[in-house]
Amino acid sequence: MLSTLLIVLPVFALILTGWVVRRTGVMGPHAAGELNRFVVYLALPALLFDIIARAQLSEIWQPGLISAFGLSCVLVFAVTLAIRWRGPRHLADAAIDALGSSYANTGYMGFPLALAAFGSSAMTPTLIASIITVCVIFAAAIVLVEVGLQTERRTSQLIWKVGVSLAKNPLLVAPLLGAFFPLTGTSLPDTGASFLKLLGGAASPCALVSLGLFLAEKRESTTSDLGAVNLLMGMKLVLHPLAAWMLGKHVFHLPPSLLHPAVLLAALPTGTGPFMLAEYYRREASVTAKAIIGSTLLSILTITVYLRFGT
């Protein structure tokens, strides 16, 4: 448990830093939004571009692992979307909730945890999970948000407007451009790689500070918020790893060297991606923010239990 706590501790420290600088007046009421814009338009696109550009197709082509982890994400995403997209609930908000239940914190917590638990052999599964999470699942949520925000009901016009919006979204454009390098077998120039590493490295810490800034703003909490937060945390910390284990062990028959990292990565708490998306589209981010905090805290226990009894 101590090793897990030490990895999680910087996450809370960065969130607390954002909370303190807002409550003390060091940063103003628009700081969370502006810092989040920096992450969405610059830092995160650089990180996504860098991840895809440096990926080796021969290294990441693990069909069983891709299927097991990817389908577990899709299953949790779809179940949460179906539950949340009811009655007056807007599709855009339901899509962000669905992302919150399936978006594992593979980047900030996944790599150090997998390395500590399983050694260097777990780095490839972690990279694969990161690509699925930050590119595929994230992209699916963006598409649904864009569809939900469009008022046009004619199919042809709706497709055109959504397509134009997606083509302007840096979070989709960046990984698509980055795919040029692994597909052509070329490498990034050293200068470009250093630039992307510096800029992309700011994505996670800035997103966590932005989350702290957001939480520092005083707002009312409702019973429905509590129910939604509990739902997202339950989906993320229980259903997601359970689905990854069932699919990996009984459907795709993964060896232990791939099965255990896949389950660990699925058991990770919610990352900051859903919060950034909610802020970017000006949707209510309170539920997402609380789910990130709560799942991160509870994951100390759930991950420790899995590493102790499940591996």
> Residue 87's pLDDT is what?
64
Q: What are the DSSP calls for 118-157, one per residue?
A: H-GGGHHHHHHHHHIIIIIIHHHHHHHHHHHH----SHHH
Q: What is the pLDDT of residue 221?
A: 60
The pLDDT, as a whole number, for residue 90 is 87
- Contact present, 209 and 35 (Cβ < 8 Å): yes
DSSP letter for 252, please. Answer: S
List, in order, residues 6 or more apart from 123 with CB less than 8 Å away: 111, 114, 115
pLDDT value of residue 155: 65
* 3-class state of residue 27 by DSSP: coil
DSSP 206: H
Token pair for 133: 């999470």
Our measurement of the distance from residue 137's CA atom to the centroid of its chain's CA atoms, rounded to an integer in Å, reads 8
What pLDDT does 238 receive? Answer: 95
DSSP three-state, residue 104:
strand
Helix (H, G, I), strand (E, B) or coil at 62: coil
Per-residue pLDDT of the chain (311 residues; tens, 9 = 90+): 666 677 667 877 888 899 899 999 898 888 888 888 898 889 888 888 888 888 777 777 889 999 999 999 999 999 999 999 886 778 999 999 999 999 998 877 787 788 878 888 888 888 889 888 888 898 889 889 988 887 656 666 767 777 777 777 787 788 888 888 888 888 889 999 999 999 988 887 888 888 888 878 776 666 568 889 999 999 999 999 999 999 999 999 999 999 999 999 999 989 888 988 888 888 888 888 889 888 988 888 888 888 877 66
Alpha-carbon distance of 275 to 283, in angstroms, equals 9
Contact by Cβ (8 Å): 243, 67: no
CATH topology of domain 2-215+225-309: Na+/H+ antiporter like fold (1.20.1530)
Predicted local confidence at residue 241, as pLDDT = 95
Inter-CA distances, 226 with 86, 212, 240, 272, 287, Å: 17, 19, 20, 19, 8
Say whether pTM exceeds 0.85: no
Dihedral sign computed on CA atoms, order 151, 157, 158, 160: negative
**Cα angle 26, 32, 36; round to 5:** 135
Domain boundaries, given as residue ranges, for the chain: 2-215+225-309
Nearest to 79 by CA among 239, 291, 285, 226: 239
